[in-house]
Amino acid sequence: MKLCCLWFLLLVVCLNAQAQQEDVWKILAEVGFESRPTEENGFEIESPRFSKRLWSYNGKVVRVKGYLIPMAELGGRQEYMLSALPFSQCYFCGGAGPETVVELQTKQPVKFVTRQITVEGILFLNDFDPDHHMYIIKNARVIDP
């Protein structure tokens, strides 16, 4: 009986620990957009406006699970995007918004797989450089290949 109670307690603790992990994609969705003119030519661009909670993650290590999108076809080397959605539904191919992808900056090449992977790195919010995505994970590394 004691062993059964111990196993039950262990199961409850493990499930509780699992439930406490935050869904980073939901946090990344806390963004709005505003039009503002560029300094170079005065054209209007859509700039992200991040929530206060989202800013609290800036510069912090995050773990996010998603689908790898290699950018080598677009001329990049070791440049990747991670999508909350499978490739056929991602921001570039489907109808999802820009908050469903993050730019990955890695030191090592990442082997392409079609299943979900978990990536860990330092999240940076980009609201000023239109040559990069609004979410960048620097020093990204795959946790579960």
pLDDT at 32: 94
How many angstroms separate the CA atoms of 134 and 51, rounded?
A: 13
Nearest to 43 by CA among 34, 35, 54, 51: 35
pLDDT at 74: 53
- Domains of the chain (ranges, CATH numbers): 22-30+58-144 (2.40.50.870)
pLDDT at 2: 53
pLDDT at 17: 43
pTM, rounded to two decimals = 0.77
pLDDT at 124: 98
Question: DSSP assignment of the chain, as one string?
Answer: -HHHHHHHHHHHHHHHHHHTS--HHHHHT-EEEEEEE-TTT--EEEEEEE-HHHHTTTTSEEEEEEEEEE-GGGT-SSEEEEESS-GGGSTTTSS--GGGEEEEEESS-----SS-EEEEEEEEE-SS-TTS-SEEEEEEEEEE-
List, run by run, the mean pLDDT of 10-residue segments along the chain (145 residues).
48 45 90 84 86 97 92 67 77 72 91 92 93 94 84
